[in-house]
Amino acid sequence: MLRAIWRLSRGYRLRPWKSPYLGWRIETSAGIHAGQIGFATFWKFVWKHRADLLRYARWAAIEQQATELEQERDRIRSTAAQ
């Protein structure tokens, strides 16, 4: 799960409130315009929705693992076919 959070905050790890992706996620889920999200707004949102955010991070981690397994299977199949 931490790996998914690390990946989602790429480029903005020390200032996640400036991340366009995280801003978009907050905008679509809470209706707060992404341009209005600052330090305080971001952390209020994170604290208020922490359970939902943890659930999303777990889901993202599971999806990432499934993708990696599928890619590994494809690699093995292509190697075996040669």
Q: Taking residues 22-29, what's their average pLDDT?
A: 90
Q: How far apart are CA 81 and CA 32, in angstroms?
A: 51
pLDDT at 82: 74
Are 61 and 36 a contacting pair, CB within 8 Å? Answer: no
pLDDT at 27: 93
Give the containing element (helix H, strand E) for 77. Answer: helix 50-81
pLDDT digits (tens, 9 = 90+) for 27-74: 998 899 999 999 999 999 999 999 998 898 889 889 999 999 999 999
pLDDT at 72: 93
pLDDT class for 1, splitting at 50, 70, 90?
low
pLDDT at 53: 87
- Amino acid present at 81: A
Label residue 31 left, alpha or beta by phi (over 0 means left) and psi (-120 to 50 means alpha): left
